[in-house]
Chains A and B, each alone.
Chain A
Amino acid sequence: MSTEAAVAPTRYIDALNEGMATAIEEDERVVLIGIDVGAGGGIFRVTKGLHERFGSERVIDAPISEMGYVGAAVGAAMTGLRPIVEIMFMDFVGVCMDPILNQAAKLRYMTAGALEIPIVFRMQTGAGKAAGAQHSQSLEAWFAHVPGLKVVMPATVADARDLLLASVRDPNPVVFVENRRLYGSKGDIDAAPLPLGKARVARPGSEVTVVTWGQMLRRCLEAAGEEGGASLEVIDLRSLAPLDIETILASTRKTGRLLIVHEAVQDFGAGAEIAARVGDELFDELRTPVRRLGAPAVPMPFSPDLESALLPTSKAISAAARALVAEG
């Protein structure tokens, strides 16, 4: 990638918008379908301007009818289109799981590869805005548990654009999880093509490997920068499926300690899978047990005071890392 390509700092939300615009422009088979994505520009303005630019044939408003339009988008993906379909809040996926779980994820396999399902299910999560129990869930582990789905979670502005484009160009169904707490965050976009499934060492360190994704990356980097804290090597996973286990193992071999941090509920979460895999591979090389830090197993409450008590903070991450170093 060339540094000349970098432009003025962009917001995460604009990077997503540009990624979609590029995808629609470069391939006539790409359509965007969702609730309020058209002239309305989306409730978070992620699709602002796309309808004016590409028209209602390419940017298609759907009724509040997720089972219908998500299912139809899968049918369109089976027959020559490459839809980007937006589910307004990740929590709403409960009303349209069948097209994702039983159709998109399985039809290539059940037809021995005769069908391709190139589709991106965009959805966003992000606790910490008093949105309550039905608008705050991080459910990425559900999808990573289903063979046939890729699960992508951009944590940076550059990745918001590049991973979205990689997801649209991928011939498989991709669950693309945005974090609305990041929508206003700023950074550079570099327009570098990215493969799906490559983690990134966001900050090198020597004492504790911290694996994370989504908005928890910011908290982990804050913890890593804390005065007098342990030396953290922070890995931004970028996708749960494919899982870049090699990057996790390489870092953990070096540090001997692993902490996994995620916004999702800790019990039966993706952190457990990563911990198990690292335990399988590196049992003799670990200096301490693998630790996880996620939300406790309660629904997300409405009150900001209650809510903030449940989400991992940079202080909690830092304390967990220091405890690991103290342990061994």
Chain B
Amino acid sequence: MSKAFSFVFGIVCVIMLTFTLISADKVFRAGPELPKTVDRKQAEYHLVLITQELETPFWDKVAKGAKEEADKRGSSVEVWGSYSKDQEDFLKKLEIAIDSKVDGIIVQGLDTPDFKELTKIKAAFYGIPILTVANDVPMADSLRRTYVGSDQFLAGQMIARQLLSDMGSSGTVVLMGDSREEYYQQQRVNGIMDVLKRYPDVKTEYAETIESREMIIAATQDVLNRQPDVNAFIAVNANIADAMVQEIGRRSQVAPYHIYSFDDSKDTMSLLKAGKLDGIIEQSPEEMGRLGVKLIIEWLRGDTVPLDTDGYLTEIRMLKATDAA
């Protein structure tokens, strides 16, 4: 009995010990380490990319391009900004960036007095270079070093030409734009008008709306009521496109209308793929980010001084529904 007892007891002990050891291993194996204090070389320049439209496909691409370029050049870039065009927050971020004395700011231009005040006075006071990207604000107003992005006037022209080739040289075109009348939007409208004014049979109607869904829908309805024989729509501000197309779709078939827009909104690409838009202007957001960072670093290093104040234009293409499909 004693032997069997000892044996069983021994087995139990061994089992207990095994579990104890396993447990001890878990406990004493070093847990997750505290993140180490960085001792690697500090980034050469701290740059900030500020936008009003965080986490949209367009701006994600810009950020991606900027980050790649910054990594390549041993600098770091942070993406700050606000969501859904929250201007107040956007401006605050801009001010923080200036007060934080970053080495350079790449910012989505905002054509408002506050923005100009910050860039012109405060940034200049701290000596921080500012580049506008994607949307420009004229040099005289913002004291920006340069602009990196599409030529919005050219984009307008391209869209107008596409419209003419699709619609023919006569018809009614509705331009829908944001009531804030930002500089880049004006440029686009100017571009469109520049082409269309040579075709007297093309009648243009300009509709303004606040960038909110209800207002856009209301504006669209209003236009459709006033101009029942409209042939084409151009959403000068890409953010309007979705609500506008939806409203048109509710009234009648979308297909007979020629509808155009730009790619700097999260909706336009999917609308194009769904065949609801006939064409959009595709810009090169990654190139914008990359080029922006490259230029600002070159300027900081003194390689390229001064920068071309007219801006560095990136490629734009007309993307048609037929191509996208």
A binds B: no
